[in-house]
Structure 1
Amino acid sequence: MDKMGTIQKATVSDVNEKAVFSQIDGQTLMTKKTEFETAPQLGAEISGFIYENKKHQLCLAPKLPKVRVDHYAYGTVTDVRRDLGVFIDGGLPDKDLVISLDDLPENKQIWPEKGDRLMITLKVDKKGRMWAKLADETIFKAISNRPSGRNMRNENVSGTTYRLRAVGSLLITDDYYLGFIHHSERDVEPRLGEHVTGRVIGLTADGMLNISLKPRAFEEIGDDAAMVLAVLKRDPSGSIAFTDKSDPEEIKAYFGISKGAFKRALGHLLKARLIEQRDGRTYLK
């Protein structure tokens, strides 16, 4: 049908207990009655989105899908077939859209997984088949925000990856800032469409956030720094009567760790600007 993937008007030709049938150019379209607030009468004119469902029936959807030709929106991955592609919920009843193998990374290990999200639009081929098409970088630039002079360094950010390159991954944050993760700032390459959390380590000249998925220095050393930080946060004064010059035995008795481990923990917390030392005490900043 040459009207596949478009919004059209049709005339109701039949109604039964489960479905409403309509006609357009001599072809019959089916709509479940549950898709209407009130079922239309015979001869009424209805409008909706034309598509083919999983049973290869021509259908008319009164509620327009969020993904249409030249309309971009996030779709959720519903299934992954290594031999066919990735199936996406684009907002149609009884129909998932497919991203073809040609539009997916060659490395199938970084393909999306079920539940991941992808920004897509709809395309219809010469045979009338509907496909999902990934949004390109121009779309993400068009919908993105700029930090506008705000200092975001060391802030935590979450976002969804939309392009994977050998040098790194591109993502758009939940607040619609564009970000870049250099391959040296991650331990594992994110999947396409994966939602990740990292921290801002810089800003490019064109307003893109440089993001690291690696832990902060104090997070890398694990429990010792976290324990010291927790003790500081619990204390009403936000301070402890210990510094890197404190007695080793007193440190061992209070924290249960060696002075060397304590000094390393303090060093990382100082570097991360989470604490300060003065007058023989350590204070939470």
Structure 2
Amino acid sequence: MSHIKLGRYNQLEIVKEVDFGVYLDGDEDGEILLPLKYVPEGSAPGDILNVFIYLDMEERLVATTQQPYAQVGDFACLEVAWVNEYGAFLDWGLMKDLFVPFREQKVKMQKGRRYVVYVDLDEESYRIMGSARVERYLSRERADYLPGDEVEVMVWQRTDLGYKVIVDNKFGGMLYHNEIFQQLATGMKLPAFVKQVRPDGKIDLELQQAGFRKVDDFAEVLLQFIKDKGGRTSINDKTDAETIYDTFGVSKKTFKKAVGELYKKRLIVLEDGGIRLA
């Protein structure tokens, strides 16, 4: 069985130099070319290089020191570079684009648009492919997170409830609309905190850790909220506490302190009907 990890980084030794690059020791896979333009300056036979291995246009193993946007086993949000009668080809940062056949597309992919895909290695054809059928690749194991654990999420899909996200490149999770106070976009990566892992294994998340919402942090959230609303909001210190909590997830006391903080910095103006940017 090959020790080369296709679609991933490999530590390989330079075995010889040629005019058009260097050859690396691929063991039973034979020597693998690293083209000259990717050879680090000063490299010589015997050196160990960290290279990404994929297939060239003729389906031969080839190495590169370019860094792809994702490797096999990763979820990523990638832009469609071109489309033909077989499927779509996504820009993943390498000379050869990532192929997504039509059968792996949930909707027909269009050139110039971005889609969340999983980078997979097709065992039968030994080819690297992308798949937009994200659910198939999310772990079915129950995550062992505890409430308050910090994770990295990638925004995947907007729904009526909120945003589906991919947690730590492995699990599915959800951020709810009434707890989001910033603009989110598909493919965005950001830290989040676990609220709970439900009995069915689904993970509820929030973008601010419960119990640690500092006034300074919330003042920034409030300022961004007002900007996103076109520079004005009707919510002010006369608004009832329930509405404030439903909108921002903070107490009225925290809200009023943040308003005072922004007002002292002359970033907002207080009006009878609400708050506007200065």
TM range (shorter): 0.3 to 0.5
Which one has a bigger Cα radius of gyration? 1
Using the size of structure 1 for normalisation, the TM-score is: 0.46
Using the size of structure 2 for normalisation, the TM-score is: 0.47
